[in-house]
Amino acid sequence: MAMGFLRCLLAFGMTTLLASATIASERERINYLLHCSGCHQADGSGSPESGIPDMRGRIGHYLRLPEGRAYLVQVPGTSQSSLNDRDTATLLNWMVSTLSGKEVPADFAPYTRDEVTRLRGNPLADVSAARTQVITRLQQMGYRNE
Ligand code: HEC
């Protein structure tokens, strides 16, 4: 009887946990579709021939460098969207794990709202130079991105 009750409570707890996790990632997916997919495509493949990088299997590597981590926020598509800082942080956390989960380093600490606030206030002077610098550094470290 007591065990049955406990098991029931546990099952209920797990279901609630799973449901809230699903709803949270649904919100990120919708934000991605509304704010980013117009350029990046629903699957993150972009249009490399028109300067919109393929993010799949790549953006996780950027997290290995502080300047790469910052770049994913400072890039205009992220920093100039109409999403607030908290939604931007959770969107990026969802994006790196969804589009490039295998490349995300094991010690990755998720983006936070405060970090996004700080980086949005510190825009890149030259986006493509910043990107080239990060990619060159990653290639030197042995991570091929292109
Ligand atoms: C108007 C088109 C456009 C939209 C909308 C857009 N981006 Fe981008 N994004 C780009 C382009 C172009 C680049 C390449 C860097 C640059 O020139 O800004 C890029 C690069 C990026 C990168 C870096 C990828 C890399 O390998 O350099 C990230 C991360 C990114 N965008 C995230 C987002 C997010 C998140 C959103 C939605 C909130 C978004 N973008 C919306 C055009 C867009």
Can you give the pLDDT of all 146 residues of the chain as single tens digits?
566 666 666 666 666 656 667 777 899 999 999 999 999 999 999 999 999 999 999 999 999 999 999 999 999 999 999 999 999 999 999 999 999 999 999 999 999 999 999 999 999 999 999 999 999 999 999 997 65
Count other C-beta atoms under 10 Å from residue 137's C-beta. Answer: 15
> Tokens 């699957």 label which residue?
43
The CA radius of gyration of the chain, in Å to the nearest whole number, is 18
What is the C-alpha separation between 69 and 50, in angstroms, rounded?
24
Distance CA 98, CA 88 (A): 15
Name the residue of 28, 52, 63, 104 to mutate for ligand 1: max ligand atoms within 8 A of Cβ. Answer: 52
CB 86 within 8 A of CB 112: no
CB 87 within 8 A of CB 73: no
Spacing, Cα 23 to ligand 1 middle (Å): 25
78 lines ligand 1 (CB under 6 A): yes
Residue 18 Cα to ligand 1 midpoint, Å, equals 30
